Structure 1
């Protein structure tokens, strides 16, 4: 592989790598990713809070059931004593004592879950406030970055337009120079043709002699008209050579002496 191809491939690789890094370093993407992570964390806290609330409800239901049995066993013990059945009353009270120990355990679990719930609720509240504040700041930063990015693009576009206009101006200047050169060349060739330095291949034979004779005839005609004007000014009844009355005689112009 030649050095030029290797250099070109390295340039392309650097360009693509730079674009990839620009995408990775885009603060808007970074802020959105951070916001999403915080939202996921909040969801996890809320899920844990719901799970603790569910477990606490189950303990509460078990406590209510044991409480109902506790009250029922107390009533049964009283009924057994009233009927002279101390043995039944004793059995009811023994079971009631066992329920008391179970209820005490449930009460400890319930209290621990209550403390955990309060802790999770406080964490959920603070995290929600933090995320809300972060979201506002995130959107503000994104809007500022987007506006700055748009300004950069606009400035780059203006710079590109300026460069294009400069190129157009350069092209116009070159075109004007070419036109001036061609006009000067055309005038020079006309003079050369007129002087005979250049031969007009499209002209008929002996055109140069005819051109010189025509010039002499034109000069002689001018001399004649000058002499006629002088003679008219010297005489008293000379004919006028122009005026409103001669306006209809334009057809005779160039047809020879008017006398």
Structure 2
């Protein structure tokens, strides 16, 4: 049973740790700070509303006390006037009412004193809470700015790292492209040599083109041999095509001498 409880506790611990990590990834501290600030502002508004309500109640009691005070003075005057006119009964009635009013005024004075004390306490709490909210707002904005700057720095570093990886990928692509180009060039040169040697058949060439190509090579070689013999017979004084002018205007006759002689 103890092993089962231990395993269960370990699972709960791991679950809480993973949940905490997941929440850390999702939770934005700036939003948390803003929520806390909003709650403090609401609390401050409630305190201010309470101060206003207590002040209103205090004012009502004050007005009621002034009214009772005026009546108290009036009853005293009425008692004096009734006694002056020989109406002791009226004077006694006025004094009795005045005595009852004194009890009511005393009770009202206690309420007024309690409200004054409560108002002073609420006003002190309001002042402290106002200072606290103002200080929290400054700290909140500082933390948010710091977090935003750090977040921007992290993104910039990640972007730079991503660019470096991209450049490395581009370099690898260029190396692979160069290798492919070199391979293709070598293959093209090899196929040219094979086509020239006749080892490969040029499917796009005309029929019997290979024979014509070999005959053309033999004819060119014979032309060179004939020109070499002419140079030897002339003692090297004049070469093939020497009839051309010095300004090069005889270029049209180049390559025609052999054909004319033949």
Please confirm whether the aligned pair reaches a TM-score higher than 0.5, indicating the same fold: yes
Number of the residue aligned with 2:178 = 176
Q: Distance in 2 between matches of 1:66 and 1:137?
A: 52
Which of residues 29, 47, 50 is equivalent to 1:48?
50
Deviations 1:46-77 (A, max 9, x none): 11111111111121121111101100011111
Output the CA distance in 2 between the equivalents of 1:147 and 1:233. Answer: 93
Aligned length: 241
CA contact (8 A) 1:232 1:239 kept: no
Distance in 2 (alpha carbons) for counterparts of 1:48 and 1:220: 123
* RMSD value, Cα: 2.7
How far has the Cα of 1:157 moved from its partner? 2.9
In 1: Cα distance, 2:241 partner to 2:136 partner: 108
Q: State how far apart, in whole Å, the 2-side matches of 1:122 and 1:209 are.
A: 116
Structure 1 length as normaliser, TM-score? 0.81
Alignment partner of 1:123 out of 119, 122, 125 = 125
Task: Tell me which residue corresponds to 1:200.
Answer: 202
| Greater relative CO, 1 or 2 (CA 8 Å, sep 6+) | 1
Match among 141, 144, 147 for residue 145 of structure 1: 147
Question: Deviation at 1:45?
Answer: 0.8
Shift of 1:20: 6.0
Contact 2:243 2:250 in 1 (8 A): no
Residue matched to 2:25: 22
Q: In the alignment, does 2:171 pair up with 1:166? A: no
Q: CA deviation at 1:159?
A: 2.8
Does the 8 Å CA contact 1:70/1:99 hold for their aligned counterparts? Answer: yes
Displacement of 1:26: 1.0
Match of 1:11 in 2: none
Other-structure match for 1:253: 254
Q: Out of 119, 135, 138, which is 2:137 matched to?
A: 135
Unaligned runs of 5+ in 1: 1-16
CA contact (8 A) 2:195 2:201 kept: yes
Other structure's SS at 1:198 match: coil
Whether the 8 Å contact between 1:52 and 1:113 is mirrored in structure 2 is yes
Are the counterparts in 1 of residues 241 and 254 from structure 2 also a CA contact under 8 Å? no
1:157-181 deviation per Cα after TM superposition (whole angstroms, max 9, x unaligned): 3333333333333223222222221
